[in-house]
Structures are given as structure tokens and as C-alpha cells.
Amino acid sequence: MNGGKGKGRLIYVMGPSGAGKDSLLAWLKAKLPPQADVHWARRTITRPVRPGDEQHHSVDADAFRRLRDAQAFAFHWQANGLHYGVQHVELAPLAAGRRVIVSGSRAYLPQALDKFPALAVVQITASVETLRHRLLARSRETPEAVEARVRRALAYQAPAHAIVIRNDGTLDVAGAALLSAFERL
């Protein structure tokens, strides 16, 4: 696992909608032993917390703007009409040698790499068919909006150094691949 003090590792996990990123992160969190010494960075998002979803800090747009203006965020971005941020305090465990997992945005990755060039990038992905099926099953968006998301997912190219985890099969299979990759970080 991780070495000594001051050698923390920032792990930036990203993926398109429908790839199962949140499900895989929940699987990993449940499977990691306590000695893994991982901090799960809690995001600040301008949406209410919903049962069964990511447990984030929910704020309104004005509160988010105040936090951003006060430079409280190490990372912040906008996507799908919402504001997302990771506060500096969430990255503090890096200084103690801990690994910190951040659920990030593909579009924001270049800025994240500018700030933390050594961050480990994990791309969760799935086939076009799987993405389309999962997004349509959610019934949150029109078929046209789903197709737009699928096109964006197809167009995205992860950096060459990214660890890519395919999540087309069972959660346990993809989860085992993620756990194996995580143990090497």
C-alpha cells in the first residue's frame, strides 16, 4: 500500500455518465481494508443530497460562489447545470502520506493535472451499448440528451497514463479490476 509520511497519492477517478463510476467507488470503499488508509474526498455540489447517491456537501449557488471566491476549492468545475468543487481541506490527508480519492470531471482533468502533475488518473468506462442502456434505464433525460452524452463519451480520449477500467459486466468483475489497480498506486 502507501509508503511513509508526505508521500500521499491523489487519485482522480472520472468517467462518463452511465459508466458506473459511483457504483464502482462504493464497491471499492466497501472492499478496502481499514489499513488501506484512504481518504474519500467529499465534493461540494449545488444539488440536494439524495438517498442512495453520493453523500456530498450540498450548497446553493450563492454559497458555492462564496466558497469559490474565498479560494476554498482545490478544484471546481461546472457540468450539467451544477457546480462541483473539492475543498482544500479534503486534500489535507495527502500531507500525512494518505491516498486521497477524488471523483472528478473528464473536462476538468487538464486543470487538475496542472495543479497536481503527479496525480493518478483512473478512467471508468463502458461500451456505447452499455452506456446507452444504463442512461435510458435511469429515465432522467430525453433520448436525444442520452445520445449527446454517448457521443461525448465516445469522443473523449483519456491520457495515455490513465488506468482504464471497463465496466460492461458485473460490478464484482470491474470492482476487482479497480481494486487491483488501486493496490498498485
Residue 139 counted as domain residue: yes
Predicted confidence (pLDDT) at residue 1 exceeds the cutoff of 70: no
pLDDT surpasses 70 at 4: no
Helices 128-138 + 143-155 axis angle, to 10: 150
Number of C-beta neighbours around residue 110 at 10 A:
9
Nearest to 100 by CA among 122, 68, 78, 71: 122
Is 2 part of any domain? Answer: no
Per-residue pLDDT of 87-146, as tens digits, reads 999 999 999 999 999 999 999 999 999 999 999 999 999 999 999 999 999 888 899 999
Question: Which of 111, 37, 123, 110 minimizes the C-alpha distance to 73?
Answer: 111
> Is 3 part of any domain?
no
CA dihedral 48, 53, 56, 58 (to 10 degrees): 0
Q: Is residue 33 part of a domain?
A: yes
pTM: 0.89
At 173 the pLDDT is 97
> 159 is written with which cell numbers?
491520457
Tally of domains in the chain: 1
Please report whether residue 102 resides in a domain. Answer: yes
Looking at residue 74, which CATH number applies to its domain?
3.40.50.300
- Its domain, for residue 95, covers 9-184
